[in-house]
Amino acid sequence: MAQQKPKVLCLSYPEFTDKAYLADFETKFELHSLTSPARAGLVPELAARVRRDGPFDAVIVRIGTIVFEPFDAEMLSPLLPDCRIIASASAGYNEFDVDWMTRNGIWFCNSRNAVSECTADMAIFLILAVLKNASVAERCAKSGVWRQGIEGVSRSPRGMVLGIIGMGSIGKVGSRRYVGRIHAN
């Protein structure tokens, strides 16, 4: 008898995943995806999917799933007792009830550096937007009065000191980029 592939349930289809990577993944795992756009629909859909296609060995929580939070017993109980791992594509774990998972023998893992660079880029963008008063410039441009009301409101970050609260992976990447590209301290 052929050995069955482990069943993996993804909270929404991994639409931005490289197609070749996904095809390779599906040679090793039986992939199922949920379609609900929010928690209210996902909780009953997950339970129904487990009844229909389960049990599932693992769950993948894609990035950008804030609409499903929190990931708790109410949502995840239908996966018991077979699910052994929940993998999150995001860096944090505050939205996951890791204590509940641990009590139920489920391993939790995340990709702690997955979003460090893009989050640091966004932080630098927001800092520059404030220094350059980008929102005023945008409003002036949209209202057709470009160059009116924006004189002298922009500052250069050159030589300024940036204070970073927390030097985790995002803080470290942001610090290197900010100091290296903008010539600030």
**Chain segment 106-142, per-residue pLDDT in tens:** 999 988 777 888 888 898 889 888 888 888 878 878 8
Strands (E), the chain: 7-11, 30-33, 58-61, 85-88, 107-110
CATH topology of domain 7-110: Rossmann fold (3.40.50)
Residue 30 C-alpha from the chain's centroid: 23
The residues with which 88 forms a beta bridge, in sequence order, are 61, 110
Report residue 1's pLDDT band, with 50, 70 and 90 as the boundaries.
low
What percentage of the chain has pLDDT greater than the value 70?
Answer: 92
* Ranges of CATH 3.40.50.720 domains, the chain: 7-110
Give the mean pLDDT of 44-73.
93
Whether 169 contacts 112, CB under 8 Å:
yes
Q: What pLDDT sits at residue 48?
A: 97
Question: What is the DSSP track for 35-48?
Answer: --SSHHHHHHHHHH
> In 3-state terms, what secondary structure has residue 92?
coil
- Band (pLDDT 50/70/90 cuts) for residue 29 is very high
Q: Compute the average pLDDT of residues 148-161.
A: 73
Nearest to 42 by CA among 62, 19, 28: 62
